[in-house]
A and B are shown apart, each in its own frame.
Chain A
């Protein structure tokens, strides 16, 4: 199976590879997948004033999985958390021209975004509760 040019490009020059400090209150971390299934994605978002100002990923998985997560980090930047949740796997499929057997890679990327956003929302809710408790 040949890969699309965009997948090859993201694979050879992945955007935003790396990690943020998980404990940073402005960082949301999503880890999805399982080693037994052959793909694990870690996607991290960093927010400032309600907007995602930076994103990083690390992925264990095939070229399409790496490309999907690389693309996801590009797309979430500049979005609010709610806008980021609107990113659909089908958009990733279309952008990267993923074949049917690779659709699960795009699903995983969508799940990773959701998991990271939820992690951040949980953190924010927790800190708000803490604030309220203090006052």
Chain B
């Protein structure tokens, strides 16, 4: 059987996912016919929209073993991350403490929010009056103190190091469930247990994890959790935040003020079609998770084994076992990542080389693994998703192998390595 491949192939499913047509079908009526404002309490249009929103809330709650009242709709995981961290400091900073622990490999939405809170002037912008009553330790206007923990070489956090970083004033631990670059899945249940034993709130950004690995907020002792729509074959522009209501009851200071929607934590008219899409997408992904994760894992193994069989000097970034089933992040030594992407242009992937960024800095996540900037520049992230096929994986192996071989033939580093020159010993004229 010969199937003709449709090019280009999309294999960048950590960046975003195409919407599942079943999700689109669920959304469509809410753009035109059922367009009411869910907050309109006095007519059928509003009731219809409200019913749809509440049904989506139930779908999401069921998928993660939460109560529907614990789901807050947002514009996406970035907003959810901001609300979780700033909101927790705003609510508990003055009473429980201002110390946050997070990882160096977190998403920028978490890292930058943390950095913002540690900068002078954070208070003015956030309008957190509690800041003024904070006990002496922090400079004026600074709302939090943050520990950015290192991860191990495999990308996982060492629980002993996490425990050692906890202080009496630690109020929040922010550790992502699954990493967006290297796909490693942290031991969320163990982290949650540790946090609850120590009376610290546990927030996890699960944008990459929901619908890909099983999440149970109760069993895993998660207090706050970010969810994204477009990472699970749902629409862009919508996300959710799980906020625990019991043992402990968590409250967050809002970032967006207005009509008091979403239990006062997030004002703004609810985008019914997007929320319906999010609900349908999360429900679908979690329902199909066991079978789909086996399928993705098989495709991922096929890709990794295929590349390894034909190429030497290639390195896996991040732990292989504790990993999203569709993620493969590989460094192809002596070949720059952006050039490799250009050479395999029929396959859409990402690179940690970040050669396009003005700073010319390679991925901070890869650097945090300690793999060295030279290898970080040679990395490719394959994000295999729901619509990828075995034929596409085989094409990807073939195309990547040929491109790496071609680029190595024109790589001075490969030539030097073959001559037995230790590249680390060379005096480079770096600029």
Interface-central residue, A31, A41, A58, A62, by most chain B CB under 10 Å: A62
The one of A1, A39, A60 that contacts B356, using a Cβ cutoff of 8 Å: A1
* Residue in contact with B339 in the complex, picked from A34, A41, A62, A104, CB distance below 8 Å: A62
* Given A35-B423, A40-B428, 19 further pairs, Cβ under 8 A: A3-B342, A14-B410, A17-B409, A31-B412, A33-B430, A34-B431, A36-B372, A38-B338, A38-B377, A39-B355, A40-B413, A41-B412, A58-B412, A61-B336, A61-B355, A62-B342, A65-B336, A101-B356, A101-B358
- The total of chain B residues at the interface (CB under 8 A) is 30
Interface of A is mostly: mixed
Q: Which 10 residue pairs are nearest across A and B when measured between Cβ atoms?
A: A34-B430, A34-B428, A35-B374, A42-B412, A38-B377, A62-B338, A36-B373, A58-B412, A63-B342, A62-B355
Complex interface residues of chain B between 329 and 379 (CB less than 8 A to chain A): 334-336, 338-339, 342-343, 353, 355-358, 360, 362, 372-374, 377
B374 pairs with A33, CB closer than 8 A:
no
Instruction: Answer whether residue B32 sits at the interface, using C-beta atoms and an 8 A cutoff.
Output: no
**Binary flags per residue of A1-41, CB closer than 8 Å to B gives 1, else 0:** 10100001001001001010000000000011111111111
Residues 129-163 of B contacting A (Cβ, < 8 Å): none
- If A58-B415, A60-B336, A60-B412 touch, whether A38 touches B342 (CB-CB below 8 Å) is no
Residue of A nearest to B409 (CB): A17
Q: Is B42 interfacial (CB 8 A cutoff)?
A: no
A63 touches B411 (CB 8 A): no
Which positions in B face A, CB cutoff 8 Å? 334-336, 338-339, 342-343, 353, 355-358, 360, 362, 372-374, 377, 409-415, 423, 428-431
- Cα A108 to Cα B431 with chains together (Å): 9
Please tell me if the beta carbons of B410 and A59 are within 8 angstroms of each other in the complex: yes
- In the bound complex, do residue B356 and residue A35 qualify as a contact, i.e. CB atoms below 8 Å apart? no
Residues of chain A within 8 A (CB-CB) of B356 are 1, 62, 101
Instruction: Note all chain A residues with C-beta closer than 8 A to B355.
Output: 38-39, 61-62
Contact B412 A38 (CB under 8 A): no
Does A55 sit within 8 A of B, measured CB to CB? no
B335 partner residues in chain A, CB cutoff 8 A: 60
CA distance A107 to B356 in the complex (A): 16
Q: At the interface, yes or no: A116 with Cβ under 8 Å from chain B?
A: no
What residues of chain B lie closer than 8 Å to A38, measured between beta carbons? Answer: 336, 338, 353, 355, 360, 362, 373, 377
